[in-house]
């Protein structure tokens, strides 16, 4: 564990000691807790940004293509619930002659 030195004005130090006493801890523990929280928050922000980037790129590609989803792109109710059609089209165990061709 590393030690650090922090310089504070008298009033800030006094109020920090009061706050630490109210929390039943030390000023050092308050500073440590703050720094740990600060680093963890930054780590989460970086993860969030890394995950948000592909989502943003996908949405931009959809917008560039002319907007969102069109009603014409939707499957019919029958096709939506036809589970066997998916298996016939995608199953590698079926002979090619029995598989449907993707539209």
Question: With contact defined as beta carbons under 8 Å apart, do 16 and 30 qualify?
Answer: yes
Residue 51 belongs to what domain range? 10-98
Residue 103 within any structural domain of the chain: no
- Alpha-carbon Rg of the chain, whole angstroms? 30
**Helices and strands (DSSP H and E) totals, the chain:** 4, 0
Report pLDDT for 30: 95
* Percent of the chain predicted with pLDDT > 90: 34
Residue 80 within any structural domain of the chain: yes
pLDDT in tens, 32-57: 999 999 989 888 888 888 888 888 88
How far apart CA 45 and CA 52 sit, in angstroms, is: 10
| Secondary structure of residue 29 in the 3-state scheme | helix
Residue 3 within any structural domain of the chain: no
Number of domains in the chain: 1
How far apart CA 71 and CA 6 sit, in angstroms, is: 62
Residue 75 within any structural domain of the chain: yes
């Amino acid at each position: 564990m590393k030690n650090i030195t922090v310089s504070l004005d008298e009033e800030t130090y006094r109020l920090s000691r009061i706050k630490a006493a109210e929390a039943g801890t030390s000023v050092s523990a308050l500073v440590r807790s703050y720094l740990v929280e600060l680093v963890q928050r930054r780590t989460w922000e970086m993860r969030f940004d890394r995950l948000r980037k592909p989502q943003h790129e996908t949405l931009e590609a959809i917008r560039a293509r002319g907007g969102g989803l069109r009603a014409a792109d939707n499957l019919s109710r029958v096709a939506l619930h036809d589970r066997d059609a998916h298996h016939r089209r995608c199953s590698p165990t079926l002979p090619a002659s029995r598989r449907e061709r993707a539209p």
